[in-house]
Structure formats: C-alpha cells, structure tokens
Structure 1
Amino acid sequence: MFMSWASWLLAALTFVSVVTCTPATPNSKRQSGSGIVTGIESRDLNGNPFLRLEVRDMRANYPDQWNLYLLGLDQLHTTSQKEPNSYYGLAGIHGKPYQTWLNAPGISYKIGSSGYCPHSMALFLGWHRPYLALFEQELYARIQRIAEYASADQIERYRWAAYSFRIPYWDWSQGEQSGNVPDFFMTETTVVTTPEGRNIEIWNPLYKYEFKPVPSAGAFDGKWSQINTTIRWPASNSPWEESRQSEFAASFVNLRRQIQDQTALAFRQGTLNGFWEAIEMVHGWVHGAIGGGYSTGFGGTGHMWPLEYSSYEPLFWLHHTNVDRLFALYQAQNPGAYLQPSNVGSAGNVFVEDNTVVDGDTPLLPFRHNPGSFWTTNEAMDWRLFGYDYPETQSANTASAQATVAQLYSGSVRGRVAAGQTGGVGHHFMPGMEESSYTDWVINTAAAPLDLPPTFVVQFSLVGDFSSDASTDVGMWSVLMPMDHNKAKRSLREAEKLTKRATAADMTLHGTVSLTSSLLDQIDAGKLQSLDEQDVVPFLREKLTWKVYSGDGTQLSDSSLDAIRIDIASEIARIPSDPSAPIEYSNDAIAHSEVTAGKMGGAS
C-alpha cells in the first residue's frame, strides 16, 4: 500500500508532518495565522523575482524543484483540516463550506450562504492574485523545511531549489501547441526522489485531494458530503463513482482550438474589464474540461465544475496560475490598463452586496495587506510585489509584450493561414511582402442572470445538410456561479416570468464567442463559399442554432431562451506578414441581426 510522503517520513524519521505551528522561515512566520499575504521574499542574484514555470518545463528541466513541489503539496494535503493554512483551509476560502477565514469580516446575513470568490464580477482577476500568492507562500514554507532533510553533500543544492521555487502553471491556452493533458495529471501514484536520496512511490497529489474527513451535510451539500476524494468526469452523480481520466483528456483536446481562439479574443479587448469578461469565460471552459460539466450527456460532475467545490481539485491551482499569467501578460501589453467601476448586478458575494459598484479600490477579502487593511486590485496590479514573475513578462516592455501576444495569442486562423491550410482568406501584395485579410465573425451574447440557473451553458451548433448529418458544435458561452447563488431571488423571478419577458436592462451578463475558425472548417468542407458577408449571413441564418443547459447538463426549455439575446457581428481583419505584429481589426463591427431575428433568444 502506498502512502503520502509525509506519512513515510513520519514512519522513517518520527517526523511530525503537521508543522504549521513552528514555521522555519521569516516569510511564513510573519504570515502564519494572521491572514496577511506577503508573497515570497527570495530573489535571484540580480534582485529579480524567481519565475513561475510551466509545469512540464519544471518537471523536465528542474527535477529538484519538481520533487520538492510534489513532496510539499503532499504535505500540505495531509495537514489537519482544522488548520486555516492547510490545503483544506485554503481551498475553503473559495467556496464551501462558506465560513469566514481567520475572522475576515463579511456581510452578516450572507455568512454561511455565500463565499469569498467573486465570479461574474470585475474583481475576478484581482481577487485570485493574492489568493494564489497565499497558497504559494504556504507551500513555499513547507518546501523550505523539506529541503533541510538533504544529506550534507546535497544540502546547498536543495536549499537553492527550495529558495527559488515558485508554483507552476499549466498553459492550456495555445491550441495544439499546448499539447495534450500531461500524463502526470492522471496517474494515481508517482515516484519522487526525496532530499535524502530515496526514490519512493507516493499517492500523486496532482491526481486528487483526499478529505480527512469529508465535511458533513450542511457544510457540503448532496453527493459532495459523501465523496471522500476529488473526482473528474464521473459516469453519474452517484457519490460512489470514480474519476474517468480519459474523458478529461478527450474533452481538453476537443476544446483546445476554442480555448485558443477565445484567449486571442480576450487579448483584443481594449479595456481590462473587457479582458476580464472574455478570459473568465475561457477559464470556465477549462473548469468543465477537468471536472466534467460543460457538455451534455456527461452523466455527472466532478469537483472542478461547481465553483463552490472547485478549489479542492489539485489542478485548480495550476489552472488559475495560468489565468494570472495571462492577466500579467495583458498588463504588460497594456501598461495603462486599470479596473473601471462596474455594477455587480446579482453577482454579489459574502463581502460585496448585490447591485453595488466595485472598482480597483474595493477590498479583496479575506486577503490582508497588513493588519489593518485588505489587498485591493489596484494594489495587486504589480504581480512582482508578491515575489514572482513569468517567462513572458520578466523582461517585457510594451513592445515586446505586444509581440509575444501576437506570436502566442493571435488565434488559430492566423496559424492556418500561415501554414496554407485553409481557403476563404483573401491575399494581396504590398512591396516586399504578402498580407492576408478576411472577415472575422463573432457571436455576441447577453443574458438576464436571475432568469437562468446560476451556472449555465449556451451551446452553439451548425445543423447538418440532411437529416442523417450530425450537427457541428461551433462554440459555447458559459457562465459559472455557485449552484445555490441567489436562490431566493431566483424563485421570485420565476414567478415574475409568467407575466414578464427579460428586458435589455436585465441583461447584465455579456460574452463574445469566436466563430471564424468554425466557418473556415465549413469552407474547407465545401459547405460554404467564403467568409464574405453575402455567403456567411444566409448560411448562418439557415444553420446556426443554440441550446441552453443548466450546470448539471439538463437542457432548459425554450422559454428560458427569453432570458438571453444572441446576435452576430463581423469586421475586417488584416494579418501582417510579420508574425510579431498583431492582427489589425477595423474596429467598425457590423451587426447582422437578420441572422438570429425570429429565433428564440435572437435579435429583435
């Protein structure tokens, strides 16, 4: 029988693995028990923060850090759930069991029924930055102690690996270049080399988290109070189902291009608020790919899909670290970007009232900047204050960041054109260069949140030419919120729906779904002539359809489509021959309301 590394060390050295009460580093001592998020103080020889590495890069090229990472994460997993800085305690900040963390205040009537995490509101990116920094500093403190078990002739090597450690990220955002799901996410056990020089097999802390004990009913709801480990893609909602890793791997491959194109669309946004809305939707797709939930007919949901349980999934931290990396790269590309005030509508949480305005100075509870105040988005804009950097941002000025975005995040259309893989794109010549231009197509969406389940998915498809032809999925709009969010208000609104149709004023949720790559697929299949308006508009008018699903995969009735608005827009895009130059968009989008007019949820 395999054991955790902490248990192995306890047996071998009579070492107590739960040592959160006796921190060994000044950084962890200053933070421990206070909720103050300091980040990590260590710097390289030039005074620069160390890098958060892509997880496959760390595993392949930094084996000491990789082994320390797994050992430290394993030890964090086995820390008593009663400790606020245990894995369970840190994960519980995000959602369930809806308890205040280290006495951080909340709105009194919401305590016990709402969590700290802000979703579908503008604090999304700013809030997760100190959250990740808190997790990183707790993991870092444990890794420092683990490194001290190295033999005398290896101690400096392991101390340096521990000193320079930062949490890794999983880059899921570059389409085919992101590759497949790493195998080491999906193996139940793994072999690690300890600082003592032993190779031991342990339960893989990236595969699952084991609750010890499972929170009781009330703290966790329904099946979640009966499942003792995190799971992915269960075959049903029975609490005794096991993970289906093959479904996770396949769903990610199927989503890679949509993720790539939606990430590219996020980087096109001219405001930080626009970037937040676009990147949060992509982030939701990855939640679904890991846990199961974005697709119909999946059977059940794993922990990563419902937001109130997602942070217990070990891949949550690698996933959100990549979101933070994209946020940092957007900041480097747009150094003047700041968070504009916006109304949260019905998306309030335990520290934000519904229908109030938040901005860059809104406190981000429960993350204390010092004993008397909490971090704000404006204070957290410089990620280096927390003691880390990313490979793409460590020496980036605005121009180099823009070039990096152009090369990594221009979307799949650019790559297909450069490789000569598709038709439907016009080419014209200028002196010394060839450039390409095309019409870019998107689906614009809006919804009244109180007329829909807290988490919902709008799946867009193109119907086949014949009754025997299967429809083709071309994108989706997903909105993730805790499943019991605003339950009372939603019940009242359900009664109103008997006499009231959602108005424009109710449409407080918005999204944009990239459509161009799917249209190029139709051109390549001989079903569409070009990307020009005269071909695409009648094609979409005839073939574009959509369905709405709740967070558990149940298709909603057509009456639910009254709560959404779907429209189509296009603009001209020009691809420069220089791969480091961004695609140039005309910024004079044309609405094509005739595509969706008359359809349920379509334009008026």
Structure 2
Amino acid sequence: MAGFSKPRGLLSTLFAILLLLQVTVAISHHAHHEHARNPTPTEMEEHMEKTKRLLDERADRIKVTGVLGGTRAERKEVRDLKKNADQWNLYLLGMERFMAKAKSDPLSYYQIAGVHGRPYVTWNGFGPLTNNAGFCPHGQGLFGSWHRPYLAIFEQAWYQCVVEVIATFPSSQRARWTAARQTLRLPYWDWAVAPPSGESNMPTLLRDPTVSVTKPSGKVTINNPLYSYSFGSSLPSEMGGGPWNNWPITLRRPVSNPTRSNNNEVSSMLQSMRTNLRDRVYYLFISKASWGYVSSEQIGARTEIASVDSFESVHDAIHTTVGGDSGGTMYYLDYSAFDPAFWLHHVNIDRLLAMYQKNSPNTWVANSNINRPMAQWNQGEAKNANSPLKPFPKTTKGDYYTSNDIKDTLLLGYYYADAQSTGAMVSAVNNKYSGGRNGLRARSVGEDGANLPYDGRPLKAGDYHTILSIIANKFALEGSYTAHCFLGNGGNSTGNSTAPYSNSTAPFGNSTTPHSNSTGSTSYDYTQSPDYVGSYSVLGGTQTGSLLTEGCVPLTTALMGKEAAGYVKSIAPKDTEDYLKKNLYYKIVGPGGVEYNPEDLEDFHVYVQAAPVTPASSGDAFPELGDYIKLPTVTENLPAGQPYTWVPGPYDYIGYNETPSYEYPAPADSYPSGYPVPSGIPSEAPSRRTSQDTVSASRLSSTSTRRAIICTRIIPNRRIVSHVV
C-alpha cells in the first residue's frame, strides 16, 4: 500500500509547502513596503486563493477526453456487446489489465474508482481535499452531469488498456483486433428491460466467476473482471476499513462459510423488482418534467408536481439490491465504485439521462446548493450548469469541465442509439418500458394464491397512475436501507408488524456499522412475497447526516393486476382508495437485515397520490399525466403516513432558471484538443455566470438571509415551491 499512499501524500505536502512559501514571500514583500500595517485576514485569504490558482495552472494534469480519435461509437447493452466476439474479448482483456494496474497509477482502476468515495484522497493534481469526503455529488443537482466525465475518464483509462492488450498479440493478428477496438466503448446494463426468455435481468455475464477469453497464447480461462475486483491480499489501510470485516474483494449480498457473493439472490431479487423498475423509468419519461428535476433525488428538486421521482432514486435501488443488506460493496456509497457492476449500472443511468435530454430538450442542470461537505466543495456553495465539475480537467492546466461542456456526449467520443433523436427515444421508451407489451408475466397477484400472473396492460381512458411517495433521509443510518412495498392480504400490514421491528427471520446481529457485519447467510427475501409490489431504496454511506430525498414506488401495474383479478373495478381512486387503505403495507430493512419501525427513522414520511392519464394519441407519442391528487386516508393509520409538509432548509435548492444560461452545443474552445468540433458552434465562449458559485455556507445558514433568499408558496395539490427573491 505504501507504493500508493506515499506519492499522493508527498504531492499534497509539496503543494502545501509551495503555497506557504508563496504566502510568506508575499507577506514579507508587503511588510517591506508597508511597515505600519499587517495584512488583514481577508487579504491573506485572497492571496492564498490566488496562489493556489497559480499553482493549479502550472500543474500538468491528465486531461479527460474519453475515447477520441475520429470515431464516435455506440455504447451498447452488455448482452448486445457480447454478440461481437472480438469486441467482447477485448472488453474483458482490457478490464483485466485495467484492474491489474499499480495502485500508484492515477489511471489505475483503484485510483479512478477511489475518486467516487473512499479512500478520501486527492486525484490527478487536484490538490488538498476541501473536506474529508469523496467527490461524488449524490443527492446534488450535479449528480447526472458530474458522472458523465467520471465515466469518460474510466472509459479513457480502460480503452488505453485495450490498446496495450492488442500490442501483446502477434503483429499478424493486430489488424483484426485494431479493427474491433475502433468502435468499442463501455457497455451498459439495462436492468429494467425484459430479458431474453428464460434469463434473468441480471446477466450471467456479471455472475460467472470465470470467463473464457482469447490471449496471444490461445484460449484461456481467467477470473471474470465483471464479477469482482480484488484489492490484493488485504484492504489498503487508507480505505479506513470496509464492508464485510474489511474483505479485500468486492462482494454482492455476501454470505459466509466460505465468504462469497450471493449473485443468485441478487438475480432473483432484481427479477422480482423488474416490473417496478420498468414502471419508474416509464413514468419518469411521460412526466416530461425538467431535466434538472428528474436527475437528482434531493427533495429540493421536487419543485414541480410532475417530478415525483428521479433517475438517481431509481439508481439507488440497484445499488442496495446488488450490494445487499448483508453488507456488500455496492450497499455503501463510499465503496460502491469498486464493484465492476457499478460501471455497467452508471453507464445505463447516463444513457437514460441522455435519452431524457431529447424528452425535455430546453432544460438542463438545475441551480442548486451543495448540501453536505464534499472533497471539492463546501456545504452551502451554489452550483449551476456553468460550475466546474471537479476534479475532471478538460485541459492539462486545470480547467475543469462544466455541465454545459458535456451536454453533447459526442464530445467524449460516444453516443447511445436510444438517444440519437426524439423519435428513437420515444420508440425505445414505449417498446422497452411500457407495461403489457412484452408478453411476460409476473407472479400471482391474487390474495387467495390463485395463479393470476400479470405484467400490466396498456393505459386506457379513465386510468390513473397511483404511487406511494416516500420522503427519506439519505444518511439516517450508517449504510443504506430499503422500504419494501406490498399490496394484498397475504402478509401482516405495516401497522401490526411484530414489535420491536427486529427481523427474526434474518440470521444477523443488530449492528448497523458496515465494518462489523455478522457472518450469517442472508436476510429474508421480501421480494418473493406474493404481495410484493416494489422497493424504494436509500443509498447511504458510512457516515450519518441529514439530506432529504424523495421518490416513489408505482402502484399502477399492481392495481391493474387487482383489477384483472376482480378485487377492484378500475384503477381510478374512486375504486382503489378503500382497497389501498386496507391492503397497502411496507417493511423497512436496514444494514444487517434489521427491520426498522418507520417512525423511528429520522425524516421518513409516506403518502399516496394519483394522477389521471390520457392515453397516447399514437404509437410514437407518450400518454399525458394530469395533476396529482393526494389520497391521505390511505396512509393516515400507517406508521409515518400522517400529513407532512416539507419546509426548505438553508442548503436546499433555491430555484430553477427556466431560461437556460448555457449555450448548446458547447463553445468550440471547450472541446478537447484533437476533437472534431461540430459545425455551427461559436468560436468564442459566451460569458460565464459565476456569481452563483460564490455563496458562502455562513451566509446561507443565517436565518435572516434565508428569509431574504427563499420564499415559499403553496400550490393546491402540490408541494412547496421555492423561488429566488
């Protein structure tokens, strides 16, 4: 480990020494000319900042370019990529070589994965960390755009490994492999699409411990680089400990005796969740809300009723399911990027967000406040689409990408077929994520256990889209937690669940720390219940705090099944409200498989609401959603189901500029050197608005200032709306 940590520590120390020398010389020079006055604290701070900027500009940093070289290639679904044998072979060999890079290499798998969360160290000449934290802006307005250059540097480093792999083949074979790599890009894993018949929506490609590949020596079997990542013989000490008693290999829903991943349970659970994941994606698209509202799960982004869910919130469900409440790698935000599944999953999130750009083309990143201390930002700093996406430089001198710079994915050398045009997007959403089209069937929806499988039906006039909305504190526990939602009388309701909410069926102790997991096998799998509808997950970390999120569990398809089985006459509130009141229940499960009383969790609230649906006018259009109405009687007797009104805090969103402050496509001078700039782009960058990046945490935390900055108004049947004043 010394080979990794010392160079980084040395860089930070050298930076600090240079900075101190600069300031000392400046103060001495100042004192020589003004003997009567010492510099003020403000002058000291300003000079420190100026010196830091000068040193930043002199730094020789690795420029994030993605895969460039003239060819703009498609990122494909992982199962589709496998159909091209040569590209699949290069993808795996490149990943194997990438993971084997020395930890001291800034382009190693270890260091790039470490940017996301732990080990809380600097990267690529960024300088000393602003706070002892990772760089990932989860629960922030920059969540979606920040991950785009992050994926690009991962793809860039992996692709270089592919090039190095090809160089090991005999010269007579290199032309073949070089041709294959030209259009090779990172694949994505679409966990919401219906899988091929007989398969799970978690491909075996991610679950097989070993895989056959072709190397210069011929066919060989290697450890599958999509199955796990190994830190070595032990977890590096700078990681500060890790899941499953510091196990040095990434794990998914781990079990013991011997310690291993339980990928079969992951696969089974995701298969049970697929319909609800599909519905969440579909109804996000037909909401047609602003991109900034649907990209982040932070409650402050919910300033329009159409935005009752977010892609980030859906993303959390994959993290917690793959990691598992037994304490796997993906279960903790801090460690999650080390699991190879993280990258396949996040490429899919990037794809969905790129598709949504076609759905709401005149909106982009929302103006927001940083709501928790991060490696690159302080709590309270205001951000917008022109804010630097640290620590990802677009030049070697420390100029960082902004969200506006990377709105066009072609800038980074890739595209998604489903995001090529509005028509391609609508077609993909309708064909992949709308209910009742694929002919697959789910488990029984009948309370009496009758074989009444149902996967949904097309929407029709008079239908309502009904959801269980959930507000939750992202960092209420040390680790993640999940609300499993059920509809039916096949199990106990939430209200009469056995006290004191300790899950007797899970062979675990009640520890909530991620570093002392028990050695039990697995927790009870709620997704196999005949009443199971879906899950709402909250991806947490190893530190507690306060950050409110909001999302939902769609109930519409489950209610369609009840309609088909004769339990309700229609899926309109007049016919479903009483049924929901009697049959809706949920269980909250946290680290170690422990069941929690919803009212014991800080800032946890649930309520049900429904919106009328107007069916699509044609196959190349989306249905229309009307305004949501709340159904308070459904949850009034459930724990945490009483009426609740959210009041913005000092670090919540302060508004959304509906007149975009960006220029798209990006200005020509923001494209990396060597990138073929699209035509029609102005040669000079427009002036950048930077005032929103100067709001201090102390100013925002002032009560009087909050009154000056934030005003609220109540819209009937809508949440509080915040506006900048």
Structures share a fold, TM > 0.5? yes
For 1:361, the aligned partner's letter is N
Alpha-carbon spacing, 1:131–1:213, altered in 2? closer, same or farther (3 Å): farther
Name the residue aligned to 2:122.
100
TM-score, normalization by structure 2: 0.67
Query: Among residues 161, 169, 186, which one is paired with 2:207 in the alignment?
Result: 186
CA contact (8 A) 2:391 2:400 kept: yes
Task: Give the whole-Å Cα distance in 2 for the aligned partners of 1:423 and 1:59.
Answer: 28
Query: Among residues 270, 273, 277, which one is paired with 1:255 in the alignment?
Result: 273
Give SS of 2:239's match: coil
Provide, for residues 204-259 of structure 1, a one-character-per-residue CA deviation record: whole Å limited to 9, x for no partner.
Answer: 111111112433445232555631211111126x9x62112211221121111111
Whether 2:173 is the aligned partner of 1:154: answer yes
Query: Among residues 170, 179, 191, which one is paired with 2:189 in the alignment?
Result: 170
Give SS of 2:213's match: strand
Structure 1 position 551, deviation (Å): 4.2
Task: Give the whole-Å Cα distance in 2 for the aligned partners of 1:426 and 1:57.
Answer: 27
Provide, for residues 506-560 of structure 1, a one-character-per-residue CA deviation record: whole Å limited to 9, x for no partner.
Answer: x842212211011122223333332122221111112222333334432223532
Consecutive unaligned residues in structure 1, runs of 5 or more: 1-31, 294-299, 428-434, 491-506
Name the residue aligned to 2:419.
393
Aligned pairs for 1:55-454 (under 5 A) are: 55-60=78-83, 62-105=84-127, 108=130, 110-111=131-132, 114-176=133-195, 179-180=199-200, 181-194=202-215, 196=216, 198-217=218-237, 219-223=239-243, 226-235=246-255, 241-269=259-287, 270-276=289-295, 277=297, 278-293=310-325, 300-345=326-371, 347-370=372-395, 371-394=397-420, 396=421, 398-409=422-433, 411-412=434-435, 436-448=461-473
Name the residue aligned to 2:556.
516
Give SS of 2:639's match: coil
Name the residue aligned to 1:482.
541
CA contact (8 A) 1:438 1:531 kept: yes
Structure 1 position 414, deviation (Å): 6.3
Give SS of 1:349's match: coil
Structure 1 position 145, deviation (Å): 2.3
Alpha-carbon spacing, 1:121–1:252, altered in 2? closer, same or farther (3 Å): same
* Structure ID, larger Rg: 2
Give SS of 1:407's match: helix
Alpha-carbon spacing, 1:33–1:479, altered in 2? closer, same or farther (3 Å): farther
Consecutive unaligned residues in structure 2, runs of 5 or more: 1-58, 298-309, 443-451, 494-527, 644-725
CA contact (8 A) 2:435 2:458 kept: no
CA contact (8 A) 1:332 1:393 kept: yes
Name the residue aligned to 1:52.
75
CA contact (8 A) 1:363 1:374 kept: yes
Name the residue aligned to 1:456.
481
Query: Among residues 558, 569, 589, which one is paired with 1:529 in the alignment?
Result: 569
Alpha-carbon spacing, 1:365–1:481, altered in 2? closer, same or farther (3 Å): farther
CA contact (8 A) 1:175 1:412 kept: no
Task: Give the whole-Å Cα distance in 1 for the aligned partners of 2:423 and 2:159.
Answer: 33
Alpha-carbon spacing, 1:544–1:562, altered in 2? closer, same or farther (3 Å): farther
For 1:208, the aligned partner's letter is S
Whether 2:96 is the aligned partner of 1:37: answer no
Aligned residue pair count: 525
Task: Give the whole-Å Cα distance in 2 for the aligned partners of 1:216 and 1:141.
Answer: 25
CA contact (8 A) 1:131 1:367 kept: yes
Provide, for residues 109-166 of structure 1, a one-character-per-residue CA deviation record: whole Å limited to 9, x for no partner.
Answer: x23xx11111111211111111110011111112112223344443222111123221
The more displaced of 356-365 and 315-324 is 356-365
Name the residue aligned to 2:646.
none
After superposition, the CA RMSD in angstroms is 3.1
Name the residue aligned to 2:628.
589
Provide, for residues 375-414 of structure 1, a one-character-per-residue CA deviation record: whole Å limited to 9, x for no partner.
Answer: 22222211110011112234x2x344334333333x3256
Name the residue aligned to 1:544.
584
Give SS of 2:156's match: helix
Structure 1 position 66, deviation (Å): 1.0
Provide, for residues 176-201 of structure 1, a one-character-per-residue CA deviation record: whole Å limited to 9, x for no partner.
Answer: 5695222222222211112x371111
For 1:53, the aligned partner's letter is K
Q: What's the % identity of the aligned pairs?
A: 30
Give SS of 1:304's match: helix
CA contact (8 A) 1:414 1:575 kept: no
Alpha-carbon spacing, 1:218–1:164, altered in 2? closer, same or farther (3 Å): closer
Task: Give the whole-Å Cα distance in 2 for the aligned partners of 1:363 and 1:350.
Answer: 13
CA contact (8 A) 2:106 2:123 kept: yes
Give SS of 1:559's match: helix
Task: Give the whole-Å Cα distance in 2 for the aligned partners of 1:79 and 1:569.
Answer: 51
Alpha-carbon spacing, 1:40–1:323, altered in 2? closer, same or farther (3 Å): same
Give SS of 1:268's match: helix
